[in-house]
Each structure stands twice: as structure tokens, then as C-alpha cells.
Structure 1
Amino acid sequence: MHRVRYEPGTGLARDAAELDGPLSFIGTGGGLRTRQWEYALGYRGISGVTRGAREVQTELKATSPDEAARLRHVFDRDVMAGTPGSIVVDGEWRTSAYVVGSEPGTIYGAYLSTTLKIVLVDGVWRRWHTESFPISVPQGGSFLDLPYDLPYDLAQPAPVTSLAGSDWFPAPVRIIVYGPASSPELSIGGNRYSFDVEVPDGGYLVCDGLEHTIKVTGPYGDVTDAFASGERGGGQGSGSYCFEPVPAGTSHVTWDNSFGFDVQWAEEEGEPPW
């Protein structure tokens, strides 16, 4: 059975709603599993293909009027604040959403059912993956001197030089560079990600290809907008675009080994797993 959870965009984490019982549950959540592309019809084809925000409906059942009222407040607060919550399936797949309405169904004692109208803001579900690329000691050097009189030490593990992406589609990516780093640059699958900025010791840079933002956080938590530092070349597909999605399959990764970094990429689907 899949676990479904609504995490509010405003308020506290304790306000989250478990939607798989016992106080409230949506069953299979059929409406959440609808999938829809937007497109324009053309001559023998389609164009402008995208997945945007869309409305879906799914039934919610509750065994407690108090819990139903609490959920209504949680949902409405997010809508009023303009801050979408997240619907999370299996603790991994998530999408941003507003619950914008409900239509009552069965009401019997403490039991009630209602059909929720939900706006899926992203139009897709995402599951994030992370691969780390730490600074590596040059091969041939000693890595760990054992406290025994042995004719060998432990060798440095082989550095990670590849990234296993989605099996099917290019994926949006976040690159996190850890300082100190001066004008860090790296390559994934033939695309160069370059940033003309200083990342201080104890700080880090985040280039978010989903939000198209670049920010540097200092060692004391101060955040600087570094959008102008990212090289954008001729845009996506040019070979030097800092927001380039990572390609499907396995990609070769290169950098000068003067800094460590993480690559986070988002697996995207039109519907959560069954």
C-alpha cells in the first residue's frame, strides 16, 4: 500500500496530513494518478508540448469531523498564503499542490466523504537523487597509514567520474559546489557548468536548474544572489549552459579536483507509481 501525505507550505511540519488512514484516507487516489500533456494541434502533428498546472479530483474519506476541519484549515491557509503544499507518495515522489475546493458526499455520524478539487502546480511528480563527487587524493599516494608494520597502506578509493541519470528522459539538475572554490567549473555529459564566483571556505554554491537560480551561502549563513556568475552560452544544448538538464543514461563527469560537489537530479513522471 502506498503512503500518501500532504505537507503544508505554511505553518509547522506537525500540521502535515496523513492521507492513508485511520482518520483520513484517499484510497488509491485515482485522481492524483491522471496524466496530461498540453499541446497545440498542427498539420499532422502537435507543438508547444508541455506539462503545466492542472486540476484533478479525488475522494477523501474521514472518520473524524475534527480531523476533517483541521485539514480544511491546513488546505485553506496554504491557498490564502499563496504557498502550495506538497503531496508526497511513498516518502519519495512529490508534487506541489493546492487543495482549492471540496464537494461533500456521504455523511453518516462521524463518517464523511468529500471530493477534493486539487491543483497540481508542477504538472509532474519528481523523485530526487544525489551523487557526491568529493576531492580525491592523487592515485599512487597513500590514503591511510595503518598502525601496524605492514608492507602496505589502504589505498584511496577510485574517484567517481560518472553520473547515472534517468533511464528514460533528461532530468533537471541542482549542482552544489562546496568551498573553497575559485570560479568552479565542471562537465557532465559534454556540457560545461561554469561559475565566475568565489565560494568561501565553509560555504557553498547552489545552481538550481529547476528554478533557474544561483546562490552562494557563506560560512555564517549569509546568502548572496550569484545569478550573473553562471555561464549560459547559447542556451540549452549549446554545450556551456549552467542550467542544462543532465542527459538520460550514464554521463562522464570531469573537473579539476580542486573542490568537491554534489549533483542532484530529479526523476520526473506524469503520475506517481502504482
Structure 2
Amino acid sequence: MIKYISSQGREIDLSSFKTRLKDAVFHAYSWNYESTEQKYGIEINNFRKDPLEYDLEIWVRGANAEKKEALNELTDQAEYDVVNKTPGKLIFGDYYLTCYILTASTEPGDYATVKTMQILAPYPFWIRETTYSFLAEAADPITILPGEEEPEPEITMEQGIMFPEFPFDLTVKEGKKTKGLFDLPTDLKRVRGTRMINNESYLPCHFRMTIYGPVTDPEIVIANHIYKVETTVFTDERLVIDSRSNTVIKIGRLGEETDLYNSRYKLQSVFEKIPPGRQVLTWPGGYGIDITLFDERSEPRWTL
């Protein structure tokens, strides 16, 4: 599968008969280096990677009206991405490359119109995403012993607004249990959720973690590393930790975003990459989690 997806979400299939990629060399890359001259040879100080550039040769076939439509669509989407500085994606199998189409030339022919295009990838890595989704687990039932009172009902964010006499009560409910901002220390909580994730790369990888409310001070442990944010996420809200952009954002019910970078756990970085191989993930289990791993390579993995 080969296709280009513009930043507007428009897909152009480059493996169809009418619009087909005929020539490109995706399995080629290079590293540059910085060095200090020695008496014999050099000492490597650092490796770096320049942006990737590829030339694509695309054959556009069909009736004249079909060719015109396909050629115009290619230009429209490429120009939109460049003018708005929003890269598209070149999809090759399971991997994608964020890129711009910088140049193009067209050569009409009897059998097909040949369009040659040059793409630029500012971030020079092919990326494969693998997403793991873990649903909230049901809480243990509460046993009411003789003489004990029923637990207090949940107080939601809306109730805090409706009843101003409790304006600062940010209690949230996890399953059937009610939990406040000042709860037991982490080491006293029983961890219910245990799952496995697999970083198939040979290197630690970036990730995007989404945590769904309601939850207070969400905490996930991966490979004995703590990912924690000291905040309250209400029902229908979500918290997104992105290691690539070093951001912690809470997204509200209406799509509003709150920067919670300063609320991140400070003793261990919430942006620590996920180690290679199979890793144990644990969390209290009372709220849902999505975690996407980004396998980044200089060239797409061979699938011959």
C-alpha cells in the first residue's frame, strides 16, 4: 500500500492503476557526523541526520478528464500543505513519513502523464504506530457490615457547580468507590491492572499516552518507571502525555485544552521513552488508558 494523505485528510492512492508510483527509492538513508581531527583519523563527537529527500515518479492514466482531475488533486493537496506549513503523510506499508511535496514537473505522453515530484521530510524517520487500549476494570464490591452506613454518593463536577456550598469538592468516582484528592499514598494502593506492551524496535521509543477520566492523580508504571500527573480528570475528559512534543494536555468535554506541564510528577520524567522488548504495564485499573508506541526507523522495515 502506497498513498499520500494531506493535512486535510484527503487520500491519494499511489498504488492504483490510474495514479501509480512507478519509481522511488525509500530504502536509502545516511547519517552525518561531527568530528575532531586526530593525528590518525578523526574522533567522532556526534551523529546527526539531515532531512530526507525523495524523488517520486508517478504515472497518471485514464481519460483526459480523469487525468486532469488526478493531476489537479495532487497539486491542490501538495500546495495546501506547504502554504499552511502542515505536513502530509506518505504511507508505505505499515510505516509513514511526515513530509511536504516541494517540486513537481509534468511530461505528457500517449500512454500516461508522468509527474515527477520531490518530497522533503523535515523529521527524517519512517514511523510505525502500535496502539494498546486498556479499559477500566470494575472496582471491588463494597461490603456493608451491620451498623455501617452506606457510602456517600458521588459528587461530580456538575454538582460542584450546581451547589456552590461545595465549590472545591473535586471528588471523583472510580467504579463503585469514591476517592478524594487526598487519598492513600501510592505504595498503599492495590494495583489491579497488569498488562503487557511490546516495543518491537531495537531502541527505546517515543509514545503518546491518553488517560480517560474520572481519575485523580493518574499513575501508570511501565518497566518500573512511573508516569504520573498530579491533577483531576473528570468524566468525559482525557489527559494526553506526548513524549515527542514534551507536552501534558488535558482535553475537556468541549474540546478545550489545558496545559498541565507543571503538574507532571517531578521525581521521574513522564516523557521517558519506552524500553525495547516486552514490558509490564501496571495501573490501578479504575480508568481507561490508550498508549501508542512510535517505532522510528531510517527506512521502512523490509517485508520481502
How high is the TM-score relative to the length of structure 1? 0.79
Give the aligned partner of residue 241 of structure 2: 207
Give the aligned partner of residue 28 of structure 2: 34
Contact 1:231 1:241 (8 Å CA) reproduced:
yes
Find the aligned partners of 2:206 and 2:295 in 1 and give their Cα distance: 8
Q: Would you say 1:192 and 2:186 are equivalent positions?
A: no
- Which of 76, 80, 83 matches 1:80? 83
Contact 2:138 2:286 (8 Å CA) reproduced:
no
Give the aligned partner of residue 227 of structure 1: 261
3-state SS of 2:124 partner: coil
1:273–1:173 CA distance, 2 compared to 1 (3 A): same
Q: Would you say 1:268 and 2:296 are equivalent positions?
A: yes
Q: Which blocks of at least 5 consecutive residues in structure 2 are unaligned?
A: 62-66, 143-191
Q: Deviations over 1:236-271 (max 9, x none)?
A: xxxx11111100011222333343312211111212
CA RMSD of superposed structures (Å): 2.5
- Report the CA distance between 1:206 and its aligned residue: 0.6
3-state SS of 1:74 partner: helix
Contact 1:7 1:16 (8 Å CA) reproduced:
yes
How many residue pairs get matched? Answer: 244
Give the aligned partner of residue 135 of structure 1: 136
Give the aligned partner of residue 111 of structure 1: 112
Give the aligned partner of residue 269 of structure 2: 241
How high is the TM-score relative to the length of structure 2? 0.72
Q: 1:21 is aligned with what amino acid? A: S
Contact 1:24 1:68 (8 Å CA) reproduced:
no
- Report the CA distance between 1:162 and its aligned residue: 2.6
3-state SS of 1:130 partner: strand
Find the aligned partners of 1:112 and 1:120 in 2 and give their Cα distance: 25
Find the aligned partners of 1:232 and 1:99 in 2 and give their Cα distance: 41
- Report the CA distance between 1:195 and its aligned residue: 0.6
Contact 2:249 2:260 (8 Å CA) reproduced:
yes
1:258–1:139 CA distance, 2 compared to 1 (3 A): closer
Identity, in percent, stands at 21
1:206–1:109 CA distance, 2 compared to 1 (3 A): same
Q: Residues 62-101 of structure 1: matches in 2 within 5 Å?
A: 62-63=60-61, 64-90=67-93, 92-101=94-103
3-state SS of 1:21 partner: coil
1:242–1:217 CA distance, 2 compared to 1 (3 A): same
